[in-house]
Amino acid sequence: MVTGAALADPAALRDEVWRVAGAVTDPEIPVLSIADLGVLRDVRVADGRVEVLITPTYSGCPAMTMIALEIELALDKAGLGPVVVKTVLAPAWTTDFMSEDGRRKLKAYGIAPPAKTAGRRALFGVEVVDCPQCGSSDTAEIAPFGSTSCKSLWQCKACREPFDYFKCH
């Protein structure tokens, strides 16, 4: 919780709002915070008002309403509300915004993390996706969409386990 003196300091308030809002988890991948995912884009503090800017992982992402509500609730609980949460579409989110810690968390959760760099090559699929269970690169895509639209379904030929791959975009 921020003390009264810290609330008067816009930089300290911004940092605390970022810390609390950034800890909100993605409802579709609860092992990732929105900071790890790169959905939390900015926190603005001016004239006693706080704005939190978030960007969806893809247009029409159904989790955005829930994420905005969870941010408001977390900040209110921390004594940092009221806050305005805005969805911004530019620059568009890419998997490049995901933190290295977020990529590690995905793999530990059983989801193959995206390729490290989004780009033209990602539009045509990836050549190799390592199995998050056994590490084998002997894998094959089963379906272009997995448990959510931002993931595809793959299977490891070595351990035979199915797994989601977080698509690079």
Q: Which tens digit of pLDDT belongs to each residue from 76-135?
A: 999 998 999 999 999 999 999 999 999 999 999 999 998 776 555 555 666 789 999 999
Q: How far apart are CA 139 and CA 107, in angstroms?
A: 15
- Tell me how many degrees the CA angle 153-33-162 measures, rounded to the nearest 5: 15
Q: What is the pLDDT of residues 139-168, one digit of tens each?
A: 999 999 888 888 999 999 999 999 999 988
Q: Measured in whole angstroms, how far is the alpha carbon of residue 57 from the centre of its chain?
A: 7
Domain boundaries, the chain: 4-93, 99-166
Residue 20 tokens, joined: 């609390």
Per-residue pLDDT band at 169 (split at 50, 70, 90): confident
Please give the pLDDT value at position 19: 98
pTM, entire model: 0.83
Give me the CATH topology for the region 4-93. Answer: GMP Synthetase; Chain A, domain 3 (3.30.300)
The answer to whether residues 155 and 138 touch, using CB atoms and an 8 Å cutoff, is: no
Q: How far apart are CA 33 and CA 11, in angstroms?
A: 22
Q: What is the pLDDT of residues 42-88, one digit of tens each?
A: 999 988 899 999 999 988 888 999 999 999 999 999 999 899 999 99
Please give the pLDDT value at position 119: 56
